[in-house]
Amino acid sequence: MLSKNDIKLIKSLKYKKQRYLHKMFVVEGKKSVSEFINSKFDLHKLFSINISEFSINNVIQVSQDDLKKISFLSNPDDHLAIFKIPNEKPLNKNNLLVGLESINDPGNLGTIIRTCEWFGVNDIVCSLDSVDCYNPKVVQSAMGSLSRINITYLDLTNFLKSESLNKFGTFINGESVYENKISTDNGIIVFGNEANGISNNLRLLLDVELTIPRFNNKSYPESLNLSNSLGIILSEFSRKSNEKKNL
Amino acid sequence: MLSKNDIKLIKSLKYKKQRYLHKMFVVEGKKSVSEFINSKFDLHKLFSINISEFSINNVIQVSQDDLKKISFLSNPDDHLAIFKIPNEKPLNKNNLLVGLESINDPGNLGTIIRTCEWFGVNDIVCSLDSVDCYNPKVVQSAMGSLSRINITYLDLTNFLKSESLNKFGTFINGESVYENKISTDNGIIVFGNEANGISNNLRLLLDVELTIPRFNNKSYPESLNLSNSLGIILSEFSRKSNEKKNL
């Protein structure tokens, strides 16, 4: 049965401060919940309208009305789980990393996590002021990929200063990503804030400034959507790296 | 001054039926409003907290409180305009077209319009059950690109049956878009519904089934976000077409 304390806890997990106080976050939907259960994440409690669908402990039978009380979704799914926030894992700097500076939009971060997994990027490093990856909207739009991708919050400027990696950044006026000859399986590609791009401080620390050229002979639109840019850049890196392997 | 009739009209334009009854839709934000004013769209009325920013007719001075009453945004911008829905323009079939089947998410369609403009696609054809391009959330996320891109709603199955174009579709298990040799400046690339992809009926009408291969040696994630897939596919088409021109 759903207790008042459960409801109170879940509602509080909408807020970052409370998530890190309790070291817990919420996952909704059968597919995502299953992927987190099959990962290294520890389940705290699962609330389900059909507990027979899960052969694990800590499952609590709830009604549709109960779910409406606890869900963050406008159309609640049949299952809602609380997982524990794990300790951050060490970065694997032998693979390509993605760096995000001051990213704001939770839907963007979720999509980015999913796209990173698609292209084999296992580590994302985020500046400390970026949106929290356990925000319910991030979890929702990452669609399970968050259970397998390692996300680290750190001082991105200090990180770039101290690491000897190939450092790529994406800008409006850089070298065409199609023409750049570098094909690498490691290094870091940095993407900036949705509205302002990469800050000047951080720009100074980068080795290569890349751009996705417009193919329309116009000066519009001003920019591409952040997660779309990231998808295109990772696609180009993957394509080139794959071509090199096949030479 | 903002009249009761203005408020009533604007609120009604949230709904597709009312938009097509009045043949009008709403644009918010100075940048987008300016881009629509500078396009072939006809302005009906502009509501602004600073009318001196626009040297045109039909501008009405409003207060911040007025704007809160009429805006569809949680943080209203300083300017809100009503434009007339234009008649559909003929398609230019000598350029690459994008086809969308049963696309649901207004944010996705907006991002797709912006990304299409970036890659020089000027015509998007949507199945009749796709989300309306004058939906306020589409207008918002298209960020002005809607004022320059031609969007046509039609029976997509009949269109594909009757047109002799190169017909590409995107699937989970198709030919790698990186390995496919076709470089073309015309034809149509079809993208399916966010959850279900391209329908079987429509699939039969396509010439080439393309896929963006995973670069992660896993079977996750199940799919890429729709607008990210579209960005990557258009990027590959543009890159190849540009390479051919430079040979």
Nearest residue, CB atoms, A115 vs list B115, B228, B238: B228
B227 and B108, same domain (yes or no) = yes
Q: List, in sequence order, every beta strand (DSSP E) within chain A.
A: 24-28, 43-48, 59-61, 79-84, 96-100, 123-127, 150-154, 167-176, 187-191, 208-211
The last residue of a domain, from among A49, A84, A119: A84
CB proximity list for A14: less than 8 A, separation 6 or greater: A26, A72, A136
B63 and B158, same domain (yes or no) = no
The CA distance from A83 to A5, in Å, is 16
Q: Which of B95, B109, B89 is nearest to B185 (CA)?
A: B95
Judged against a pLDDT cut of 90, whether residue A247 lies above it is answered with: no
Q: What is the CATH number of the domain that holds A184?
A: 3.40.1280.10
Give the pairing type, strands A96-100 and A123-127.
Answer: parallel
Digit-by-digit pLDDT tens for chain B (247 residues) are 899 999 999 999 999 999 999 999 999 999 999 999 999 999 999 999 998 888 888 899 999 999 999 999 988 989 999 999 999 899 999 999 999 999 999 999 999 999 999 999 999 999 999 999 999 999 999 999 999 999 999 999 999 999 999 999 999 889 999 988 776 778 999 999 999 999 999 999 999 999 999 999 899 999 999 999 999 999 999 999 888 887 6
Query: Smallest CA–CA separation between B221 and chain A, in Å?
Result: 6
pLDDT at residue number A51: 87
Q: A108 in a domain, yes or no? A: yes
pLDDT at residue number A185: 75
| Arithmetic mean of pLDDT, A179-201 | 89
* Cβ B86 vs Cβ B39: under 8 Å: no
Residue of B nearest to A114 (CA): B221
Longest dimension (CA), chain B: 62
Nearest residue, CB atoms, A231 vs list B215, B220, B231: B231
The last residue of a domain, from among A60, A84, A108: A84
A72 and A118, same domain (yes or no) = no
A146 and A220, same domain (yes or no) = yes
A105 and A70, same domain (yes or no) = no
A107 and A174, same domain (yes or no) = yes
| Arithmetic mean of pLDDT, A40-59 | 91
B27 and B101, same domain (yes or no) = no
Q: Convert the pLDDT of each residue in B48-96 to its tens digit.
A: 999 888 888 889 999 999 999 999 998 898 999 999 999 989 999 999 9
CB proximity list for B187: less than 8 A, separation 6 or greater: B96, B97, B165, B166, B167, B168
Judged against a pLDDT cut of 80, whether residue A20 lies above it is answered with: yes
B134 and B41, same domain (yes or no) = no
B179 and B68, same domain (yes or no) = no
What is the torsional sign of CA A8, A139, A36, A78?
positive
Q: Residue A8 belongs to what H/E stretch?
A: helix A4-12
C-alpha to C-alpha distances, A39 to A29, A31, A42, B44, B222, nearest whole angstrom: 16, 13, 8, 55, 16
Domain limits for position A39: 4-84
B157 and B221, same domain (yes or no) = yes
Q: Convert the pLDDT of each residue in A57-79 to its tens digit.
A: 889 999 999 999 999 998 998 99
Q: B58 in a domain, yes or no? A: yes
- Are residues A215 and B119, on separate chains, in Cβ contact within 8 Å? yes
Which residues of B sit within 8 Å Cβ distance of A? 35, 107, 111, 114-115, 117-120, 141, 143-145, 148, 178, 212, 214-218, 220-222, 224-225, 227-229, 231-232, 235-236, 238-239, 242
Total-model pTM: 0.94
Residue numbers in A near B178 (CB within 8 A): 239, 242
Q: A179 in a domain, yes or no? A: yes
Task: Tell me the percentage of chain A whose pLDDT exceeds 90.
Answer: 86
Q: Residue A246 belongs to what H/E stretch?
A: none
| Arithmetic mean of pLDDT, A209-232 | 94
B221 upstream amide cis, omega within 30 of 0: yes
pLDDT at residue number A183: 66
B78 and B126, same domain (yes or no) = no
Q: Convert the pLDDT of each residue in A100-128 to its tens digit.
A: 999 999 999 999 999 999 999 999 999 99
The CA distance from A233 to A22, in Å, is 37
- Residue with the bigger pLDDT between A52 and A109: it is A109
| Arithmetic mean of pLDDT, A141-168 | 96
pLDDT at residue number B246: 76
Nearest residue, CB atoms, B117 vs list A212, A221, A231: A221
pLDDT at residue number B183: 66
Q: What is the CATH number of the domain that holds A75?
A: 3.30.1330.30
B115 and B213, same domain (yes or no) = yes
The last residue of a domain, from among A51, A84, A117: A84
pLDDT at residue number A246: 77
Tally the domains of chain A.
Answer: 2
pLDDT at residue number A137: 96
pLDDT at residue number A181: 76
Residue numbers in A near B221 (CB within 8 A): 114, 117-118, 143-145
